[in-house]
Chains A and B, each alone.
Chain A
Amino acid sequence: MLRRNIKSTRSFSITASLGKWTEIPLAPPDKILGISEAYNKDSNNKKINLGVGAYRDNFGKPIIFPSVKKAEVLLLEKETEKEYTPIIGSKNFQNLVKNFIFNNSGKDPNGEKLINEGRIVTSQTISGTGSLRVIADFFNRFYSSKKIIVPKPTWANHIAVLKDAGLEPSFYEYYNTSINGLDYEKLIESIKSVDNETIILLHACCHNPTGMDLTNEQWDEVLNIIIEKNLYPMVDMAYQGFSSGDPYKDIEVIRKLNKLVVDGKIKSYSLCQSFAKNMGLYGERTGSISIITESAEQSQSIESQLKKLIRPMYSSPPIHGSKIVETIFSNEELLNQWLTELNEVVGRLNTVRTKLFEKLDGSIYNWDHLNKQRGMFIYTGLSQEQVIKLRNEYSVYATEDGRFSISGVNDDNVDYLADAMNKVIKESK
């Protein structure tokens, strides 16, 4: 046996040894980040990048929130170590996330009760994607169903992340492009038709990519179905603050869920959250997961299992972003500054949204949906062909589902963009 093995080793030619690896197919480039790459290569000086969801100021430049920069300067002065945090992040970070989100900084007695009863387990994660990955892996291991439904459409990476962790994602109806609006009846119908105990992924606010959120009443109705069918709510909150400009106002669904848990109507739900957008900490990968549990005792078990899951993946989370968050939250002046800056950022997005709306030709296409959508994106309703045409003929880069990142628009390019969009629509009529 041994002899034969050795012989076959010798017979490995160069091509055979290459053959070991040439089975590796080229994976397709990521849709969203691929657009940035194409944009960077374009030499047209009028080019516009409406692809990636990162904020740009009115000059088309990335910003650092001044409050974040101040926190970094403070850190540079005061930081004395760069040690590992615990596997699930520092206690301080966990606690401030709990207080900020679930207690709504002292404004949600239900959330406060859950915190005090030890019924919330929080772990720092590698921003939003990392939070989804960990929570999905956790559900794959411990939850009764692997089925998870996500809105149609949803963030391009959701399906890959959930599948990769072993869950079985499918869609629930959400949006109808032919009317550029929420397809609420179908949404209700499709949620009602799934198996009991299915996990349901809910975008807390600023639905990505459509920007179209449920109204208060619609949330209540959806949550009622969740109770009736015993679905498990998993909330993805990437844009807290981007709907109203105020992070405390954008978490209505969290408040509703907290109340349902306290009232005993549901026992558990989960949250994936990130500071990527609302603090502009994109590349620092700062976010968290929280699981609302049935008891303090169960919290202990869940926390220990989360640690077991994370330890062999990456051991512990990166500290720079979380230290910035901790610094800002520990200093009231900085905290208020950040809230003001966030409000200004969202204000600019809304101004640009209105400007674009005004310059678009409403006589050839109904753009009313633009003003209903919230957050970083507008979901134009343009077809794939139209988006490609915008790219090829006007150097306007966006994902082929017609999602435009509104922060790529500014005073200098809004006319050019509106003109290009009007032309493309006219030509395809």
Chain B
Amino acid sequence: MNYFPEIKELPPDPLFGLKARYTKDSRSDKVDLGIGAYRDNNGKPWILPAVKLAEKKLINDDSYNHEYLPIEGYKDFVVNAGKIIIGEESVAIKEDRIVSQQSLSGTGALHLVGKFLKDFYHNKTAKIYLSKPTWANHNQIFTSLGFEVDNYPYWDNDNKSLDLQGFLKAIEDAPQGSIFLLHACAHNPTGLDPTEDQWLQILNKLSEKDHLPLFDSAYQGFASGNLEKDSFSIRTAVDKKIFKAPILICQSFAKNCGMYGERVGAVHVIPSETNEKLNNAIASQLKKIIRSEISNPPAYGAKIVATILNDKELFNQWQEDLTTMSSRINKMRLKLRELLINLQTPGTWDHIVNQTGMFSFTGLNPDMVKRLEEKHGIYMVGSGRASVAGLNDGNVEKVANAFDEVVRFYAKSKL
């Protein structure tokens, strides 16, 4: 008998598959613009100085150990993580309207929130609306939990800008009480965020229709270098008190602390009314899910982040580190655009500098991306998303020339 008769081999996950192909490539000047992890100007991974200092402080502390964390996570971490995202002075904190649970970084947070919504959201038929396009994993996180997933327009490819009208219309047309997943900042993959005014329109429209806003915050501080600025959308939604539905936040410290593999994140649930009993019920149900999936969350990364958030000097160092990362990326955006303009590459390239965060949605099509990989050894996702962090002074010219070559190649074949 065959124990697993129906099992079939699946193609690799696109992002992890891309990384595998890159690793195998023997060309010495290959460039990885695929997976979203920061690289320094030498193309090397970077452990933030604030993190290194925190690690040193942590493991030399007498009270350091490897005991189990409580199911809800490391208290110093979850509480301060909440303050970082909605602001220390937030009305939700003053009114005791925040329930926090540590999670396995961003994916774990989204999975947890999805499962919680599946069990307890009043609208049992609610669909989850994702931006089009969105992070490759979003869709399966929710479909694997049994949700029906739909899209809202976001990226206007013709104008390389936000399709605000399409977005607002989708909010209007969605059945009341739907769930909208919003990228808090540094939209993945387009790097394009609504302006503050556009956010106000979006949030107002969402609240009018009594939709539930679910924020995915993966890049706070990484986008602009400023924690407050990068949480504008979330803080506005909380402070304006326009939502009757609870506000849900999925928070990750993978990018802004460079703690990718440590899996540090949190879920924050912000009900619209103060109700201690409700808070306790929410907390207990989140814990129940965690207990049956992982028992309790991993300690080390959470302790590092807590150490940074609790120590003024380390916190300042972290601010500096955020600026280091975001300004280097911005420099590369400017450089790439400048080179493409100098090369007179067909098309407009302003969007590269208007976008923010780790990525640029270049507008290159799948054929061009394929040619970049095969002919030039430059690896990026088929959608045309380039991780700008993969650019540096040593390779940006090669990349610009290669962009130029593939764009002209396909422009020519069209004629």
A residues whose Cβ falls under 8 Å from a Cβ of B: 5-6, 8-9, 12, 14, 17-30, 33, 52, 54, 62-64, 68-69, 72-73, 76, 79-87, 126-130, 133, 142-144, 157, 160-161, 163-164, 230, 232, 267-268, 280-285, 294, 298, 300-302, 304-305, 307-308, 311-321
Interface centre among A12, A29, A30, A85 (most CB of B within 10 A): A30
B377 at the interface (CB under 8 A from A): no
Q: Choose from B12, B65, B66, B281 the contact partner of A304 (Cβ within 8 Å).
A: B12
Q: Choose from B66, B105, B111, B273 the contact partner of A14 (Cβ within 8 Å).
A: B273
In Å, the complex CA distance between A126 and B292 comes to 12
- When distances are taken between beta carbons in the complex, the residues of chain B under 8 Å from A314 are 104-105, 107-108, 111, 263, 294
- When distances are taken between beta carbons in the complex, the residues of chain B under 8 Å from A52 are 68
- When distances are taken between beta carbons in the complex, the residues of chain A under 8 Å from B6 are 142
Q: A319 contacts B262, CB within 8 Å?
A: yes
Q: State which of B181-189, B297-305, B397-405 sits at the interface with chain A.
A: B297-305
Given contacts A9-B209, A129-B293, whether A21 and B262 have CB atoms under 8 Å apart is no
Q: A129-B291, A304-B11, A321-B300 are in contact. List 18 more A-B contacts (CB 8 A).
A: A9-B176, A9-B208, A18-B273, A19-B122, A25-B285, A54-B68, A68-B66, A76-B55, A82-B259, A128-B295, A129-B293, A157-B292, A267-B3, A307-B16, A311-B107, A312-B111, A315-B108, A320-B262
A-B contact pairs, 23 of them (CB 8 A): A5-B176, A12-B210, A18-B278, A22-B278, A24-B120, A26-B281, A52-B68, A62-B65, A63-B65, A81-B45, A82-B261, A84-B35, A129-B291, A129-B295, A142-B6, A230-B1, A283-B296, A283-B300, A298-B4, A302-B4, A314-B111, A317-B263, A319-B261
Q: State which of B88-96, B137-145, B322-330, B361-369 sits at the interface with chain A.
A: B137-145
A13 → chain B closest CB, angstroms: 10
In B281-336, the 8 Å CB interface with A consists of 281-282, 284-285, 287-288, 291-301
In chain A, what residue has the closest Cβ to B284? A27
Instruction: Please classify the interface of chain B as helix (H, G, I), strand (E, B), loop, or mixed, using the class held by over half of its residues.
Output: loop
- When distances are taken between beta carbons in the complex, the residues of chain B under 8 Å from A26 are 277, 280-281, 284
In Å, the complex CA distance between A268 and B1 comes to 11
Q: B69 contacts A283, CB within 8 Å?
A: yes
B179 → chain A closest CB, angstroms: 13
In chain A, what residue has the closest Cβ to B138? A312
Interface residues of B, CB < 8 Å — how many? 86
- When distances are taken between beta carbons in the complex, the residues of chain A under 8 Å from B82 are none
In Å, the complex CA distance between A307 and B140 comes to 12
A74 → chain B closest CB, angstroms: 11
Q: A12 contacts B244, CB within 8 Å?
A: yes
A68 → chain B closest CB, angstroms: 7
Given contacts A62-B67, A282-B67, A298-B4, whether A24 and B293 have CB atoms under 8 Å apart is no
Q: B7 contacts A142, CB within 8 Å?
A: yes
- When distances are taken between beta carbons in the complex, the residues of chain B under 8 Å from A267 are 1, 3
B411 at the interface (CB under 8 A from A): no
In chain A, what residue has the closest Cβ to B136? A311
Given contacts A20-B122, A24-B278, A313-B108, whether A84 and B37 have CB atoms under 8 Å apart is yes
Interface readout for B269-280 with A: 1 if CB under 8 Å, 0 if not?
001110101101
In Å, the complex CA distance between A300 and B281 comes to 43
- When distances are taken between beta carbons in the complex, the residues of chain B under 8 Å from A319 are 261-263
Q: B245 contacts A20, CB within 8 Å?
A: yes
- When distances are taken between beta carbons in the complex, the residues of chain A under 8 Å from B159 are none
Given contacts A282-B68, A314-B111, whether A143 and B3 have CB atoms under 8 Å apart is yes
In Å, the complex CA distance between A105 and B259 comes to 32
Interface centre among B4, B258, B277, B291 (most CB of A within 10 A): B4
Given contacts A232-B3, A313-B107, A314-B263, whether A133 and B298 have CB atoms under 8 Å apart is no
